[in-house]
C-alpha cells in the first residue's frame, strides 16, 4: 500500500528517505548524493554525471563514483541508459517502512491478547501466535475466541481453540472475510 502511495506522489520521497535511510544501510554521503542528483535532474536539463554532482558538493568525483557503486552493489540503484534509476532505493525504503509498521501493529495486538489471557505468554509462544495471525486466523477471530465465556487457562488450551476454528473454516473463496479487510 505504501508503495502505491509513493508511486502516486502522495508520500514525500524526501521524508521517506531521511526517516529511513539507516534502515537500508545508506550513509549520509549517499543520501546527499541521491538528493543532489534528484535536485539536478529536476532543476537543470543536464545529463547528471559524477563530475556534475561533484561541482555542487564538497565530495570529489571519485568519492561520488565509489558511493554510487556501493549503492549499485546493494541493489538500491540501477544505471539504465546512462541514467541513474532510484526506484529500487525507494521501493526498499517503502517496504522496510511498511514492514516496520506492521510489526509494531502485531506487537500491539499481541499485547492486547496477553491482557485478556489469564497467563503470560513466553517468547516462543508469542512468535508462534504471530505466525498464526499472519497465516491462518484473523485478529478479529482471535479476539472472538478470547471473548468467549469459557476461561482459557493455558497456552495449549488457547492453541486447541484456534485449531478448532481453523478446522471449521470454510474452504475456497469463502475463506476470506471480504468485509474484514
Q: Which of 17-21, 48-52, 176-180 bottoms out in mean pLDDT, i.e. has the lowest?
A: 176-180
Tell me the average pLDDT of the chain: 82
The reported pLDDT for the residue numbered 110 is 78
Q: What one-character DSSP code corresponds to residue 80? A: E
pLDDT over 50 at 111, yes or no: yes
**Cell 497467563 sits at which residue?**
119
pLDDT over 50 at 139, yes or no: yes
What is the CATH code for 1-93? 1.10.10.10
Cβ-based neighbours of 133, under 8 Å, separated by 6 or more = 106, 109, 139, 142
Beta carbons within 10 angstroms of residue 27's beta carbon: 13
Q: Which of 24-38, 70-84, 89-103 bottoms out in mean pLDDT, i.e. has the lowest?
A: 89-103
**Domain range list for the chain:** 1-93, 117-168
Amino acid at each position: 500500500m505504501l508503495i502505491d502511495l509513493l508511486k502516486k506522489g502522495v508520500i514525500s520521497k524526501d521524508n521517506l528517505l531521511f526517516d529511513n535511510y539507516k534502515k537500508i544501510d545508506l550513509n549520509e554521503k549517499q543520501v546527499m548524493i541521491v538528493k543532489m542528483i534528484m535536485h539536478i535532474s529536476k532543476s537543470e536539463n543536464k545529463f547528471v554525471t559524477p563530475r556534475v554532482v561533484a561541482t555542487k558538493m564538497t565530495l570529489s568525483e571519485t568519492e561520488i563514483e565509489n558511493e554510487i557503486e556501493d549503492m549499485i552493489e546493494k541493489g538500491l540503484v540501477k544505471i539504465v541508459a546512462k541514467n541513474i534509476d532510484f526506484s529500487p532505493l525507494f521501493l526498499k525504503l517503502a517496504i522496510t517502512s511498511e514492514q516496520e509498521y506492521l510489526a509494531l501493529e502485531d506487537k500491539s495486538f499481541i499485547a492486547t491478547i496477553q491482557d485478556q489471557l489469564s497467563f503470560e505468554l513466553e517468547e516462543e509462544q508469542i512468535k508462534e501466535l504471530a505466525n498464526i495471525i499472519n497465516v491462518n486466523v484473523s485478529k478479529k477471530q482471535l479476539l472472538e475466541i478470547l471473548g468467549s465465556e469459557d476461561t482459557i487457562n493455558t497456552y495449549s488450551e488457547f492453541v486447541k481453540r484456534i485449531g478448532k476454528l481453523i478446522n471449521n473454516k470454510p474452504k475456497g473463496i469463502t475463506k476470506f472475510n471480504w468485509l474484514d479487510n
